[in-house]
Amino acid sequence: MIELNNIKKVAVVGAGTMGQGIAQVCAMAGLEVLLYDLNSQMLDRASQTISQNLEKGIERGKVSQEQKEIALNNIKVTVSEDELLADLIIEAIVEKLDVKQGLFKRLEAINSENTILASNTSSIPITRIAAVLERPANFVGMHFFNPAHIMKLVEVISGVSTDPQVAQTVYDLALKLGKEPVHAQDAPGFIVNRVARHFYVEGLKVLEEGVSDVNGIDRLIEYSGFRMGPFRLMDLIGVDTNYSVTESMFNAFHQDSKFRPSRIQQQKVDAGHHGRKSGKGFYKYD
* Adjacent-strand bridge partners of 140: 118
Beta strands 75-78; 9-13: pairing state: unpaired
Residues contacting residue 75 through CB under 8 Å, at least 6 positions apart: 23, 24, 27, 33, 34, 35, 47, 50
User: Which of 91, 111, 143, 274 is an active site residue?
Assistant: 143
User: Which of 158, 193, 244, 248 is an active site residue?
Assistant: 193
- For residue 155, indicate whether it is catalytic: yes
d(CA 77, CA 284): 32
d(CA 248, CA 67): 39
User: Which of 91, 95, 108, 155 is an active site residue?
Assistant: 155
User: Which of 53, 119, 122, 242 is an active site residue?
Assistant: 122
From residue 219, give the alpha-carbon distance in Å to each of 80, 169, 204. 45, 41, 14
Residues contacting residue 178 through CB under 8 Å, at least 6 positions apart: 25, 29, 152
Would you say how long the chain is, in residues?
Answer: 286
- For residue 248, indicate whether it is catalytic: no
Catalogue the active-site residues: 122, 143, 155, 193
